[in-house]
Amino acid sequence: MSRSERYAAIDLGGTKVRAIVADLDGQIYGEDIRLSRASEGLAATTDTMVACLEAACVAAGVNTADIKGLGIASPGAVDAYNGVVPEAPQLPGWRDVPIVEIMSKRLGVPVWLENDANAAALGENRFGAGKGAKNMLYMTVSTGVGGGIIIDGDLYRGTRGAAGELGHMIIDYDGPPCGCGGNGCLESLISGTAIAKEGERLIDAGKAPELTKLRDAEGAVTAEMMNRAVKAGDEAVAEYADRVGMYLGVALASYVNIFNPSVIVIGGGVSQSGEMFMDQAVATMKRKAMRAPLADVTVKLGQLQDRAGTLGMIARLKAAVEDGD
Ligand SMILES: [Zn+2]
C-alpha cells in the first residue's frame, strides 16, 4: 500500500449523501455533501451518489478512476456479504438492490458495503472516541437508534450481517409500537422522534411553558430544544428527560452485563444535545449493571459526528487491503 493511494467512502442517508476521499490513515482530502433525492427512487439516488463522489474527487484533486476502492455505508439491514440492500425505510422503492455491483460497474472500482451504524462503530473504533478498544459498543441516537458491536477488534456482523441492532433491545414489551414492528424497543422510547412526540404532548397538555415558547419561535420540537427548556425551568420536561435517561441506562446496563465492553461510544444528534439525559443514563447503568463488568466500562460521546460512517468505511477498506478481508 502506498501512502499516496486514495480511497473513497459514501455515507448514504435518507436525506443526505456524504462522500469523502481519504487515505487509509483516515486523512481526508476531499468531501462533498448533497441531498440524496431518496424520494425520487433508486436511479436518482445512485446518480446522486456518483455525482457526490465525483465532486469529492475534484475537491481532492484526483480522477475518480484512480480511486483504489469505495466503501458504502447504507441504512437498513444490509447484506454486507453479498453487497445487497434488501430494504431500508429511508430509501423508498429499494428492494434487494445489488448496490455493490451497480456502483462498481459504474465507477470501475472495487466496492464494499456495511450497515451505516456498523460503519460508524468501525469509524469510532479506529479513528474516534473508542480508538484502540478491543471490545466496544457503539450506539447512535438520532431519528432512530442504531448500533454496532466490536468484539476482539472486529465488527461483529452475525450470521447474515444483521447483528448489532442495539436500538431494538426490548425494554417494555407492552410499550409503544416500534419501527421494527415490535413494541417497547429502546428506539421506540428514546429516539429523536419519540422524544419530540412527547415534547409536543407536554405542550398540548399545558405542562411545558418554556418549551412552548421555543416551539412557537423556532418550529418543530427537537431533543436539543427540550434540553434548553429543561435549563429554562420546565419541570415536566426535566422529569421526562430523567425517564429517557433511565431507559437508556437500563439498556446500557444490559449491554455491559452481556458484552463486558471497555468502551461504549454514543453518537448521533440526540446524544450531542442530550446532556439532559446522558448523566441519568450513566448513573442508572452504574446502579443496575453487575459489578465485575461495570468496573471495566467507560461511556463516551462520539467524536466523529457526521463523518463516523464514511471514516468507518475507510477503516473497512483498510482491513480489506491489509488482511484481504
Ligand atoms: Zn424495534
Q: Ligand 1: distance of its center to the CA of 50 in Å? A: 32
The answer as to whether 113 is a domain residue is: yes
Backbone angles phi, psi at 170, to 5 degrees: -85, 120
Q: Mean pLDDT of successive 10-residue segments in the chain (325 residues)?
A: 83 95 97 95 96 98 95 92 89 94 96 95 97 96 93 91 91 93 95 93 97 96 92 96 95 98 93 80 97 96 95 96 78
Is residue 77 within 8 A of residue 16, CB to CB? The reply is no
Q: Ligand 1: distance of its center to the CA of 170 in Å? A: 7
**Same domain assignment for residues 52 and 113:** yes
| Cut 0.75: pTM above it | yes
Q: Ligand 1: distance of its center to the CA of 93 in Å? A: 21
Q: Ligand 1: distance of its center to the CA of 130 in Å? A: 26
87-142 pLDDT, tens digit per residue, is 888 898 899 999 999 999 999 999 999 999 999 999 999 999 999 999 999 999 98
**Same domain assignment for residues 104 and 204:** no
Q: Ligand 1: distance of its center to the CA of 169 in Å? A: 7
C-alpha separations of 268 from 141, 212, 219, 243, 306 in Å: 5, 25, 21, 19, 8
Domain that holds residue 213: 129-303
**Same domain assignment for residues 184 and 290:** yes
**Same domain assignment for residues 97 and 218:** no
DSSP 38: G
Q: In 10 A of CB 35, how many CB atoms?
A: 13
Q: Ligand 1: distance of its center to the CA of 188 in Å? A: 7
Q: Ligand 1: distance of its center to the CA of 283 in Å? A: 24
The answer as to whether 1 is a domain residue is: no
194-227 pLDDT, tens digit per residue, is 999 999 999 999 999 999 999 999 999 998 899 9
The answer as to whether 271 is a domain residue is: yes
Strand partners, 9: 20, 71
Strand partners, 18: 11, 33
Is residue 66 within 8 A of residue 6, CB to CB? The reply is yes
**Same domain assignment for residues 174 and 108:** no
**Same domain assignment for residues 84 and 225:** no
The count of structural domains within the chain is 2
Residue with cell 419501527: 179
**Same domain assignment for residues 90 and 211:** no
Q: Ligand 1: distance of its center to the CA of 174 in Å? A: 12
Is residue 239 within 8 A of residue 211, CB to CB? The reply is no
Is residue 160 within 8 A of residue 79, CB to CB? The reply is yes
Domain with residue 249: its CATH number is 3.30.420.40
**Same domain assignment for residues 164 and 287:** yes
